[in-house]
Amino acid sequence: MALRLPCLVAVPTLLLAVAGCGTAPHEEDVPPLGTQSSEIRIANALTTKALVLNAIATNHEANGLLATSSLLQMFDPVFGDANTRRRLHDANAQKFMEYLVSCALTPSQSVEYFDPRTPNPGVRKWWGKAGLCPSWATSAPSEDCLERVSACLLARNNKEGRRVELSIRGEHRFTLTGPNIYALEAKTIPADHAPVTGARVASFEPCVTGTSGSQRDCGWTGDGIGTCVPATTVWAGAGGPLSCASPGTPLGSSVNGPAVLRVCEGVAGCDHLDARNLGEASGMCLGTLGRPVAMFTCPASGYFSVMTAPISSTMTGLVATVKTISEEPTAYGLSEQQVYGVREGAFYGNIFLPDELAAEVDVEERVVNDRKVFAVVGADVTVDGSIYKKMFSCFDPGWSQGAAYAAGRVCALPSLEANCASTVTGPCFPTTSPVAAGQCAIQDGPITPGDGDYELCTDDAERVWTQIVTTFLHSPCDTVTQSERSKICGRAVRAEPVPTEQLPWPPRKKDFLP
Protein backbone atom coordinates (compact mmCIF):
# COMPACT_ATOMS: atom_id res chain seq x y z
CA MET A 1 0.00 0.00 0.00
CA ALA A 2 2.45 3.39 -0.62
CA LEU A 3 -1.34 4.43 -0.07
CA ARG A 4 -1.63 1.15 -0.92
CA LEU A 5 -4.36 -0.76 0.97
CA PRO A 6 -5.23 -5.63 2.95
CA CYS A 7 -8.11 -11.34 10.06
CA LEU A 8 -6.17 -7.22 8.73
CA VAL A 9 -4.00 -7.60 11.91
CA ALA A 10 -1.64 -3.04 7.01
CA VAL A 11 1.67 1.32 2.63
CA PRO A 12 1.61 2.66 -0.05
CA THR A 13 1.98 2.39 -0.95
CA LEU A 14 -1.88 4.97 1.77
CA LEU A 15 -0.85 0.04 1.80
CA LEU A 16 -2.83 -1.95 4.29
CA ALA A 17 -2.91 -5.61 5.44
CA VAL A 18 -4.47 -7.73 8.27
CA ALA A 19 -4.35 -11.30 9.82
CA GLY A 20 -6.84 -13.76 11.30
CA CYS A 21 -7.94 -12.72 14.75
CA GLY A 22 -9.98 -15.64 16.01
CA THR A 23 -13.40 -14.42 14.91
CA ALA A 24 -15.21 -15.00 11.66
CA PRO A 25 -15.65 -12.00 9.33
CA HIS A 26 -18.91 -10.13 9.74
CA GLU A 27 -21.29 -10.69 6.85
CA GLU A 28 -21.59 -6.92 6.42
CA ASP A 29 -17.81 -6.59 6.02
CA VAL A 30 -17.77 -8.37 2.65
CA PRO A 31 -17.08 -5.75 -0.04
CA PRO A 32 -19.35 -5.46 -3.10
CA LEU A 33 -18.21 -7.78 -5.88
CA GLY A 34 -15.46 -6.25 -7.98
CA THR A 35 -14.89 -3.20 -5.80
CA GLN A 36 -11.86 -4.24 -3.73
CA SER A 37 -8.53 -3.43 -5.33
CA SER A 38 -5.66 -5.89 -5.13
CA GLU A 39 -3.46 -3.50 -3.19
CA ILE A 40 -3.71 -0.45 -0.97
CA ARG A 41 -1.33 2.47 -0.90
CA ILE A 42 -2.37 5.62 0.95
CA ALA A 43 -0.90 9.03 1.68
CA ASN A 44 -0.35 10.63 5.05
CA ALA A 45 -1.44 14.30 5.01
CA LEU A 46 -4.07 14.70 7.73
CA THR A 47 -2.88 17.23 10.31
CA THR A 48 -2.92 16.00 13.90
CA LYS A 49 -4.99 19.03 14.91
CA ALA A 50 -7.66 18.20 12.33
CA LEU A 51 -7.74 14.61 13.59
CA VAL A 52 -8.00 15.36 17.31
CA LEU A 53 -10.00 18.60 17.40
CA ASN A 54 -12.88 18.52 14.94
CA ALA A 55 -16.63 18.87 15.40
CA ILE A 56 -17.41 15.33 14.20
CA ALA A 57 -14.98 12.90 15.83
CA THR A 58 -14.35 15.10 18.88
CA ASN A 59 -18.04 15.66 19.52
CA HIS A 60 -19.88 13.24 21.79
CA GLU A 61 -23.13 13.20 19.80
CA ALA A 62 -21.57 13.06 16.32
CA ASN A 63 -19.00 10.47 17.37
CA GLY A 64 -21.76 8.22 18.68
CA LEU A 65 -23.80 8.64 15.50
CA LEU A 66 -20.81 7.65 13.36
CA ALA A 67 -20.38 4.44 15.34
CA THR A 68 -24.04 3.44 14.97
CA SER A 69 -25.15 4.81 11.57
CA SER A 70 -24.47 4.25 7.90
CA LEU A 71 -22.46 7.02 6.26
CA LEU A 72 -25.00 7.54 3.48
CA GLN A 73 -27.78 7.94 6.04
CA MET A 74 -25.93 10.26 8.39
CA PHE A 75 -24.63 12.61 5.69
CA ASP A 76 -27.46 12.51 3.17
CA PRO A 77 -27.65 16.05 1.68
CA VAL A 78 -31.45 16.19 2.17
CA PHE A 79 -32.41 13.68 4.85
CA GLY A 80 -29.18 13.46 6.85
CA ASP A 81 -28.71 14.52 10.45
CA ALA A 82 -29.28 18.27 10.80
CA ASN A 83 -26.80 18.72 13.64
CA THR A 84 -24.14 16.93 11.62
CA ARG A 85 -24.71 19.32 8.73
CA ARG A 86 -24.22 22.26 11.09
CA ARG A 87 -20.96 20.75 12.31
CA LEU A 88 -19.66 20.62 8.74
CA HIS A 89 -19.12 24.36 9.01
CA ASP A 90 -15.89 23.22 10.68
CA ALA A 91 -13.17 22.77 8.05
CA ASN A 92 -11.39 20.22 10.26
CA ALA A 93 -14.58 18.15 10.47
CA GLN A 94 -14.76 18.01 6.69
CA LYS A 95 -11.09 17.06 6.42
CA PHE A 96 -11.56 14.33 9.02
CA MET A 97 -14.51 12.90 7.09
CA GLU A 98 -12.56 13.02 3.82
CA TYR A 99 -9.95 10.75 5.39
CA LEU A 100 -12.48 8.53 7.16
CA VAL A 101 -14.31 7.79 3.90
CA SER A 102 -10.98 7.26 2.13
CA CYS A 103 -9.98 4.65 4.74
CA ALA A 104 -13.38 2.95 4.99
CA LEU A 105 -14.77 2.72 1.47
CA THR A 106 -13.48 1.43 -1.87
CA PRO A 107 -12.55 3.63 -4.86
CA SER A 108 -15.93 2.91 -6.47
CA GLN A 109 -17.84 4.16 -3.40
CA SER A 110 -18.59 7.73 -2.35
CA VAL A 111 -20.59 9.64 0.23
CA GLU A 112 -22.62 12.69 -0.78
CA TYR A 113 -22.93 15.47 1.77
CA PHE A 114 -24.04 19.09 1.88
CA ASP A 115 -21.21 21.56 2.40
CA PRO A 116 -22.84 24.53 4.18
CA ARG A 117 -19.84 26.84 4.03
CA THR A 118 -19.96 30.11 2.16
CA PRO A 119 -19.36 31.42 -0.42
CA ASN A 120 -20.24 28.26 -2.39
CA PRO A 121 -22.47 25.93 -0.36
CA GLY A 122 -23.66 22.84 -2.17
CA VAL A 123 -23.58 19.07 -2.53
CA ARG A 124 -20.10 17.53 -2.55
CA LYS A 125 -18.64 14.01 -2.41
CA TRP A 126 -16.04 12.20 -0.35
CA TRP A 127 -14.50 9.24 -2.20
CA GLY A 128 -13.29 5.91 -0.86
CA LYS A 129 -9.89 4.35 -1.45
CA ALA A 130 -8.59 1.75 1.03
CA GLY A 131 -11.81 -0.26 1.40
CA LEU A 132 -11.29 -1.29 5.03
CA CYS A 133 -15.02 -1.17 5.85
CA PRO A 134 -17.07 -0.90 2.63
CA SER A 135 -20.30 -1.94 4.35
CA TRP A 136 -20.22 1.30 6.40
CA ALA A 137 -21.69 3.07 3.39
CA THR A 138 -25.09 1.43 3.88
CA SER A 139 -25.10 -0.09 7.38
CA ALA A 140 -23.77 0.50 10.87
CA PRO A 141 -20.13 -0.61 11.19
CA SER A 142 -18.92 -3.60 13.18
CA GLU A 143 -16.44 -3.12 16.02
CA ASP A 144 -13.68 -4.63 13.87
CA CYS A 145 -14.53 -2.11 11.13
CA LEU A 146 -14.31 0.79 13.57
CA GLU A 147 -10.94 -0.39 14.83
CA ARG A 148 -9.51 -0.86 11.32
CA VAL A 149 -10.60 2.61 10.23
CA SER A 150 -9.35 4.13 13.50
CA ALA A 151 -5.91 2.61 12.93
CA CYS A 152 -5.89 3.85 9.33
CA LEU A 153 -6.80 7.40 10.41
CA LEU A 154 -4.11 7.44 13.08
CA ALA A 155 -1.48 6.12 10.66
CA ARG A 156 -2.32 8.87 8.16
CA ASN A 157 -1.88 11.89 10.43
CA ASN A 158 1.17 14.01 11.14
CA LYS A 159 1.64 17.32 12.93
CA GLU A 160 2.44 19.37 9.82
CA GLY A 161 0.04 17.69 7.42
CA ARG A 162 2.96 16.75 5.15
CA ARG A 163 1.88 14.50 2.30
CA VAL A 164 3.87 11.30 2.66
CA GLU A 165 3.31 8.04 0.80
CA LEU A 166 2.89 5.18 3.26
CA SER A 167 3.04 1.44 2.94
CA ILE A 168 0.39 0.36 5.44
CA ARG A 169 0.38 -3.31 6.30
CA GLY A 170 -1.69 -5.58 8.46
CA GLU A 171 -3.87 -8.67 8.35
CA HIS A 172 -7.53 -8.99 7.48
CA ARG A 173 -9.64 -11.06 5.12
CA PHE A 174 -13.21 -10.21 4.17
CA THR A 175 -13.85 -13.95 3.79
CA LEU A 176 -12.27 -16.91 5.55
CA THR A 177 -10.39 -18.01 2.43
CA GLY A 178 -10.00 -14.66 0.68
CA PRO A 179 -6.76 -12.73 0.19
CA ASN A 180 -5.30 -10.34 2.69
CA ILE A 181 -6.83 -6.94 1.87
CA TYR A 182 -3.52 -5.34 2.86
CA ALA A 183 -1.75 -6.69 -0.20
CA LEU A 184 1.71 -5.59 -1.34
CA GLU A 185 2.49 -4.35 -4.83
CA ALA A 186 4.78 -6.59 -6.83
CA LYS A 187 5.70 -3.51 -8.88
CA THR A 188 5.33 -0.14 -7.19
CA ILE A 189 3.82 2.67 -9.27
CA PRO A 190 5.26 6.19 -8.80
CA ALA A 191 3.27 8.47 -6.52
CA ASP A 192 0.99 10.91 -8.35
CA HIS A 193 1.59 13.79 -5.91
CA ALA A 194 4.76 15.86 -5.60
CA PRO A 195 6.79 15.31 -2.43
CA VAL A 196 6.71 18.01 0.27
CA THR A 197 4.10 20.25 -1.43
CA GLY A 198 1.55 17.46 -1.82
CA ALA A 199 0.28 18.96 -5.08
CA ARG A 200 -1.03 16.48 -7.63
CA VAL A 201 1.37 16.10 -10.56
CA ALA A 202 -0.39 17.74 -13.51
CA SER A 203 1.06 15.25 -15.97
CA PHE A 204 -1.12 12.49 -14.53
CA GLU A 205 -4.31 14.41 -15.36
CA PRO A 206 -6.13 13.65 -18.65
CA CYS A 207 -5.46 16.02 -21.56
CA VAL A 208 -8.35 18.39 -22.21
CA THR A 209 -7.39 18.79 -25.86
CA GLY A 210 -5.25 16.70 -28.18
CA THR A 211 -1.55 17.29 -27.61
CA SER A 212 1.63 15.39 -28.32
CA GLY A 213 5.29 15.00 -27.46
CA SER A 214 7.37 14.28 -24.38
CA GLN A 215 7.16 17.84 -23.01
CA ARG A 216 3.43 17.88 -22.43
CA ASP A 217 2.09 17.89 -18.86
CA CYS A 218 -0.99 15.69 -19.23
CA GLY A 219 -1.95 12.18 -20.21
CA TRP A 220 0.98 10.34 -18.59
CA THR A 221 0.93 7.05 -16.63
CA GLY A 222 3.28 6.01 -13.85
CA ASP A 223 5.24 2.90 -14.83
CA GLY A 224 7.69 1.92 -12.09
CA ILE A 225 10.46 2.84 -9.66
CA GLY A 226 14.14 1.97 -9.91
CA THR A 227 17.37 2.23 -7.95
CA CYS A 228 20.87 3.02 -9.23
CA VAL A 229 24.34 4.05 -8.10
CA PRO A 230 24.42 7.85 -7.57
CA ALA A 231 26.31 9.91 -10.19
CA THR A 232 26.41 7.03 -12.71
CA THR A 233 24.84 7.18 -16.18
CA VAL A 234 21.60 5.23 -16.64
CA TRP A 235 19.45 4.57 -19.71
CA ALA A 236 15.71 3.87 -19.52
CA GLY A 237 13.96 2.79 -22.70
CA ALA A 238 10.62 1.70 -24.14
CA GLY A 239 11.78 0.36 -27.52
CA GLY A 240 14.61 2.55 -28.75
CA PRO A 241 18.31 1.81 -29.35
CA LEU A 242 21.11 2.93 -27.03
CA SER A 243 23.13 4.25 -29.96
CA CYS A 244 22.02 5.70 -33.30
CA ALA A 245 25.31 4.63 -34.92
CA SER A 246 25.00 1.04 -33.71
CA PRO A 247 21.33 0.30 -33.03
CA GLY A 248 21.70 -3.23 -31.68
CA THR A 249 18.96 -4.69 -29.48
CA PRO A 250 16.25 -2.19 -28.48
CA LEU A 251 15.99 -1.28 -24.79
CA GLY A 252 12.42 -2.15 -23.74
CA SER A 253 9.48 -2.11 -26.12
CA SER A 254 6.25 -0.34 -27.09
CA VAL A 255 3.27 -1.93 -28.80
CA ASN A 256 -0.06 -0.54 -30.01
CA GLY A 257 1.43 2.80 -30.91
CA PRO A 258 4.44 5.11 -30.47
CA ALA A 259 5.42 6.18 -26.94
CA VAL A 260 7.18 8.91 -24.97
CA LEU A 261 9.04 8.44 -21.70
CA ARG A 262 10.04 10.62 -18.74
CA VAL A 263 12.36 9.88 -15.80
CA CYS A 264 11.96 11.66 -12.44
CA GLU A 265 14.11 11.81 -9.31
CA GLY A 266 12.70 9.89 -6.35
CA VAL A 267 9.55 7.82 -6.05
CA ALA A 268 7.01 10.31 -7.45
CA GLY A 269 6.18 11.42 -10.99
CA CYS A 270 7.05 14.90 -12.26
CA ASP A 271 6.16 17.56 -14.83
CA HIS A 272 8.32 18.79 -17.72
CA LEU A 273 9.69 21.87 -15.91
CA ASP A 274 10.00 20.17 -12.52
CA ALA A 275 13.53 20.22 -11.08
CA ARG A 276 13.08 16.48 -10.46
CA ASN A 277 12.79 15.80 -14.21
CA LEU A 278 15.95 13.83 -15.01
CA GLY A 279 15.24 13.29 -18.68
CA GLU A 280 12.56 12.61 -21.27
CA ALA A 281 12.50 11.22 -24.80
CA SER A 282 10.32 10.44 -27.77
CA GLY A 283 12.97 8.71 -29.95
CA MET A 284 16.40 10.18 -30.63
CA CYS A 285 17.40 8.38 -33.84
CA LEU A 286 16.16 8.60 -37.42
CA GLY A 287 13.19 6.31 -37.82
CA THR A 288 12.75 5.70 -34.07
CA LEU A 289 10.09 8.32 -33.25
CA GLY A 290 7.86 6.80 -30.62
CA ARG A 291 10.52 4.32 -29.46
CA PRO A 292 12.13 6.37 -26.68
CA VAL A 293 15.33 5.99 -24.68
CA ALA A 294 16.23 8.59 -22.02
CA MET A 295 19.78 8.93 -20.69
CA PHE A 296 20.16 10.47 -17.22
CA THR A 297 22.51 10.77 -14.26
CA CYS A 298 21.48 8.77 -11.22
CA PRO A 299 20.47 11.23 -8.45
CA ALA A 300 22.04 11.36 -5.00
CA SER A 301 19.08 9.52 -3.48
CA GLY A 302 19.72 6.54 -5.73
CA TYR A 303 16.03 6.29 -6.70
CA PHE A 304 14.23 7.23 -9.91
CA SER A 305 10.71 6.77 -11.29
CA VAL A 306 9.55 6.36 -14.88
CA MET A 307 6.40 7.63 -16.61
CA THR A 308 5.13 6.65 -20.06
CA ALA A 309 2.48 7.96 -22.45
CA PRO A 310 1.39 7.56 -26.08
CA ILE A 311 3.16 10.10 -28.25
CA SER A 312 -0.24 11.72 -28.92
CA SER A 313 -2.82 12.11 -26.17
CA THR A 314 -5.55 11.07 -28.61
CA MET A 315 -4.06 7.57 -28.98
CA THR A 316 -5.18 4.66 -26.80
CA GLY A 317 -4.06 1.10 -26.12
CA LEU A 318 -0.34 1.74 -25.64
CA VAL A 319 1.53 -1.05 -23.85
CA ALA A 320 5.04 0.07 -22.90
CA THR A 321 7.62 -2.25 -21.36
CA VAL A 322 10.37 -0.20 -19.75
CA LYS A 323 13.87 -1.59 -19.30
CA THR A 324 16.95 0.06 -17.80
CA ILE A 325 20.69 -0.42 -18.14
CA SER A 326 23.69 1.26 -16.51
CA GLU A 327 27.45 1.03 -16.23
CA GLU A 328 26.88 0.03 -12.57
CA PRO A 329 24.26 -2.26 -10.98
CA THR A 330 20.71 -0.95 -11.34
CA ALA A 331 17.29 -2.40 -10.69
CA TYR A 332 13.90 -1.38 -12.05
CA GLY A 333 10.31 -2.32 -11.29
CA LEU A 334 10.91 -2.43 -7.54
CA SER A 335 8.32 -4.01 -5.28
CA GLU A 336 6.55 -2.18 -2.50
CA GLN A 337 8.77 -3.84 0.08
CA GLN A 338 11.87 -2.65 -1.78
CA VAL A 339 10.66 0.95 -2.08
CA TYR A 340 9.14 1.25 1.40
CA GLY A 341 11.58 -0.42 3.76
CA VAL A 342 11.65 1.78 6.88
CA ARG A 343 9.28 0.40 9.52
CA GLU A 344 7.75 3.21 11.60
CA GLY A 345 5.61 1.43 14.15
CA ALA A 346 2.07 0.22 14.81
CA PHE A 347 -1.25 2.04 15.29
CA TYR A 348 -4.35 0.61 16.95
CA GLY A 349 -7.43 1.31 19.08
CA ASN A 350 -10.88 2.84 18.57
CA ILE A 351 -11.62 6.50 17.92
CA PHE A 352 -15.37 5.92 17.86
CA LEU A 353 -16.07 5.73 21.60
CA PRO A 354 -17.87 8.95 22.58
CA ASP A 355 -17.39 8.35 26.31
CA GLU A 356 -13.60 8.13 25.79
CA LEU A 357 -13.03 11.69 24.51
CA ALA A 358 -10.87 14.13 26.47
CA ALA A 359 -12.25 17.20 24.63
CA GLU A 360 -15.50 18.43 23.10
CA VAL A 361 -15.70 20.46 19.88
CA ASP A 362 -18.90 21.82 18.37
CA VAL A 363 -20.19 24.43 15.94
CA GLU A 364 -22.51 27.10 17.35
CA GLU A 365 -24.95 29.23 15.38
CA ARG A 366 -24.73 32.91 16.31
CA VAL A 367 -26.17 36.22 15.12
CA VAL A 368 -23.66 39.02 14.53
CA ASN A 369 -24.88 42.37 13.11
CA ASP A 370 -28.18 40.74 12.14
CA ARG A 371 -26.30 38.09 10.19
CA LYS A 372 -26.21 34.38 10.98
CA VAL A 373 -22.69 33.05 11.49
CA PHE A 374 -21.24 29.75 12.69
CA ALA A 375 -18.39 29.48 15.17
CA VAL A 376 -16.24 26.46 16.02
CA VAL A 377 -15.95 26.19 19.80
CA GLY A 378 -13.66 24.00 21.89
CA ALA A 379 -10.91 23.57 19.30
CA ASP A 380 -8.45 25.89 21.05
CA VAL A 381 -7.87 23.70 24.11
CA THR A 382 -4.66 22.07 25.29
CA VAL A 383 -5.14 18.54 26.60
CA ASP A 384 -2.33 16.57 28.21
CA GLY A 385 -1.75 13.27 26.47
CA SER A 386 -4.22 11.73 24.05
CA ILE A 387 -7.61 13.23 23.25
CA TYR A 388 -8.74 9.77 22.13
CA LYS A 389 -8.34 7.74 25.32
CA LYS A 390 -8.54 4.39 23.51
CA MET A 391 -6.07 5.02 20.70
CA PHE A 392 -2.51 3.70 20.96
CA SER A 393 0.73 3.49 19.03
CA CYS A 394 4.14 1.93 19.48
CA PHE A 395 7.40 2.66 17.66
CA ASP A 396 9.87 0.42 15.89
CA PRO A 397 13.01 0.02 18.05
CA GLY A 398 15.10 0.95 15.01
CA TRP A 399 14.57 4.65 15.79
CA SER A 400 17.47 6.17 17.70
CA GLN A 401 15.02 8.56 19.44
CA GLY A 402 11.91 6.41 19.31
CA ALA A 403 9.83 8.14 21.98
CA ALA A 404 10.51 11.62 20.53
CA TYR A 405 9.82 10.45 16.99
CA ALA A 406 6.54 8.82 18.07
CA ALA A 407 5.38 11.93 19.94
CA GLY A 408 6.15 14.09 16.92
CA ARG A 409 4.13 11.70 14.78
CA VAL A 410 0.91 11.63 16.85
CA CYS A 411 0.85 14.83 18.92
CA ALA A 412 -0.22 18.26 17.70
CA LEU A 413 1.93 19.75 20.49
CA PRO A 414 4.74 17.19 20.79
CA SER A 415 7.04 19.31 22.98
CA LEU A 416 4.25 19.34 25.58
CA GLU A 417 3.11 15.79 24.83
CA ALA A 418 -0.32 17.36 24.44
CA ASN A 419 -3.26 17.19 22.01
CA CYS A 420 -2.16 13.75 20.91
CA ALA A 421 -4.14 11.35 18.76
CA SER A 422 -2.91 8.32 20.70
CA THR A 423 -1.03 7.20 23.76
CA VAL A 424 2.48 6.08 22.84
CA THR A 425 2.98 2.79 24.65
CA GLY A 426 6.71 2.29 23.92
CA PRO A 427 8.69 0.11 21.51
CA CYS A 428 6.65 -2.39 19.51
CA PHE A 429 8.80 -5.39 20.35
CA PRO A 430 11.00 -6.18 23.37
CA THR A 431 14.73 -5.76 22.97
CA THR A 432 17.82 -6.58 24.95
CA SER A 433 19.96 -3.63 23.81
CA PRO A 434 18.90 -1.52 25.53
CA VAL A 435 16.52 -3.52 27.68
CA ALA A 436 12.94 -2.55 26.79
CA ALA A 437 9.55 -4.19 27.09
CA GLY A 438 7.63 -4.51 23.85
CA GLN A 439 3.96 -4.08 23.06
CA CYS A 440 3.33 -6.53 20.21
CA ALA A 441 3.46 -10.32 20.39
CA ILE A 442 4.09 -10.80 16.67
CA GLN A 443 6.64 -8.98 14.50
CA ASP A 444 5.50 -10.45 11.19
CA GLY A 445 1.91 -11.62 10.81
CA PRO A 446 1.40 -15.03 9.15
CA ILE A 447 -1.05 -14.12 6.38
CA THR A 448 1.58 -12.27 4.31
CA PRO A 449 4.96 -13.63 5.48
CA GLY A 450 7.80 -11.17 5.19
CA ASP A 451 5.77 -7.95 5.15
CA GLY A 452 6.86 -7.05 8.70
CA ASP A 453 3.48 -6.22 10.20
CA TYR A 454 3.15 -6.07 13.98
CA GLU A 455 0.21 -8.02 15.43
CA LEU A 456 -1.47 -8.57 18.80
CA CYS A 457 -0.42 -5.29 20.41
CA THR A 458 -1.27 -4.24 23.95
CA ASP A 459 -2.39 -0.90 25.33
CA ASP A 460 -1.41 0.71 28.64
CA ALA A 461 -3.97 -1.44 30.46
CA GLU A 462 -2.60 -4.65 28.86
CA ARG A 463 -5.64 -5.15 26.63
CA VAL A 464 -4.66 -6.93 23.41
CA TRP A 465 -5.84 -5.34 20.15
CA THR A 466 -6.12 -7.29 16.91
CA GLN A 467 -6.91 -4.71 14.21
CA ILE A 468 -3.40 -3.27 13.82
CA VAL A 469 -1.82 -1.30 11.00
CA THR A 470 1.95 -1.11 10.64
CA THR A 471 3.43 1.69 8.55
CA PHE A 472 6.57 1.68 6.40
CA LEU A 473 8.27 4.75 4.92
CA HIS A 474 10.52 5.22 1.91
CA SER A 475 12.89 7.47 3.87
CA PRO A 476 13.21 7.80 7.68
CA CYS A 477 12.68 11.58 7.64
CA ASP A 478 9.65 11.68 5.30
CA THR A 479 7.17 12.67 8.02
CA VAL A 480 9.23 15.35 9.77
CA THR A 481 10.22 18.91 8.93
CA GLN A 482 13.73 19.91 7.85
CA SER A 483 14.46 21.46 11.26
CA GLU A 484 13.62 18.20 13.05
CA ARG A 485 15.65 15.88 10.85
CA SER A 486 18.85 15.97 12.87
CA LYS A 487 16.94 15.45 16.12
CA ILE A 488 14.33 12.71 15.90
CA CYS A 489 14.43 10.73 12.66
CA GLY A 490 17.75 8.96 12.98
CA ARG A 491 17.89 5.19 12.75
CA ALA A 492 19.95 3.21 15.25
CA VAL A 493 21.67 -0.12 14.76
CA ARG A 494 18.80 -2.59 14.71
CA ALA A 495 18.03 -3.85 18.18
CA GLU A 496 17.92 -7.60 18.66
CA PRO A 497 14.45 -8.86 19.60
CA VAL A 498 13.92 -11.20 22.50
CA PRO A 499 12.88 -14.59 21.01
CA THR A 500 9.09 -14.88 20.99
CA GLU A 501 9.08 -18.27 22.68
CA GLN A 502 10.76 -16.70 25.73
CA LEU A 503 8.15 -13.99 26.15
CA PRO A 504 5.35 -13.95 28.68
CA TRP A 505 2.06 -12.77 27.19
CA PRO A 506 0.90 -10.14 27.64
CA PRO A 507 4.41 -8.70 27.97
CA ARG A 508 5.08 -6.83 31.20
CA LYS A 509 7.71 -4.17 31.76
CA LYS A 510 8.98 -5.86 34.89
CA ASP A 511 9.89 -8.95 32.85
CA PHE A 512 12.47 -6.90 30.92
CA LEU A 513 14.04 -4.89 33.70
CA PRO A 514 17.34 -5.90 35.31
In this structure, the answer to whether residues 210 and 329 fall within a common structural domain is: yes
In this structure, the answer to whether residues 268 and 327 fall within a common structural domain is: yes
pLDDT at residue 25 in the model? 31
Residue 377, domain member (yes or no):
no
In this structure, the answer to whether residues 158 and 206 fall within a common structural domain is: no
- Confidence band, pLDDT 50/70/90 cuts, at residue 367: confident
Task: Give the mean pLDDT of 252-275.
Answer: 96
Task: Give the mean pLDDT of 193-202.
Answer: 87
CB under 8 A, 24+ apart: contacts of 506-511: 506/441, 506/458, 506/462, 506/464, 507/430, 507/437, 507/438, 507/439, 507/441, 507/458, 508/437, 508/462, 509/437, 511/437
Task: List, for residues 441-500, the tens digit of each pLDDT value.
Answer: 999 999 999 999 999 999 999 999 999 999 999 999 888 877 777 778 888 755 444 444
Residue 152, pLDDT > 90, answer yes
- Confidence band, pLDDT 50/70/90 cuts, at residue 435: low
Residue 246, domain member (yes or no):
yes
Residue 258, domain member (yes or no):
yes
In angstroms, the CA 462 to CA 115 distance is: 42
CATH, residue 230: 2.60.120.380
In this structure, the answer to whether residues 227 and 158 fall within a common structural domain is: no
Structural domain of 88: 46-162
Task: List, for residues 115-141, the tens digit of each pLDDT value.
Answer: 999 899 999 999 999 999 999 999 999
In this structure, the answer to whether residues 317 and 221 fall within a common structural domain is: yes
- Of 334, 349, 367, which closes a domain? 334
In this structure, the answer to whether residues 156 and 280 fall within a common structural domain is: no
Residue 393, domain member (yes or no):
no
| Prediction pTM value | 0.85
pLDDT at residue 54 in the model? 97
pLDDT at residue 436 in the model? 67
Residue 158, domain member (yes or no):
yes
Report H helices in 188-340: 336-339
The total of other beta-carbon atoms located within 10 Å of residue 428's CB is 27
In this structure, the answer to whether residues 208 and 312 fall within a common structural domain is: yes
Residue 443: burial class (beta carbons within 10 Å; 0-12, 13-18, 19+): middle
In this structure, the answer to whether residues 131 and 222 fall within a common structural domain is: no
- Of 97, 132, 162, which closes a domain? 162
Residue 391, domain member (yes or no):
no
Domain count of the chain?
Answer: 2
- Of 334, 360, 386, which closes a domain? 334
In this structure, the answer to whether residues 324 and 222 fall within a common structural domain is: yes
pLDDT at residue 498 in the model? 44
Residue 363, domain member (yes or no):
no
Q: Report CA dihedral (292, 297, 301, 305) to the nearest 10 degrees.
A: 0
Q: Which residue has the higher pLDDT, 8 or 156?
A: 156
In this structure, the answer to whether residues 208 and 320 fall within a common structural domain is: yes
Task: Give the mean pLDDT of 207-222.
Answer: 95
Q: Determine which helix (DSSP H) or strand (DSSP E) holds 280, and give its type and residue range.
A: strand 277-281
Residue 431, pLDDT > 80, answer no
In this structure, the answer to whether residues 215 and 104 fall within a common structural domain is: no
In this structure, the answer to whether residues 61 and 144 fall within a common structural domain is: yes
Residue 17, domain member (yes or no):
no
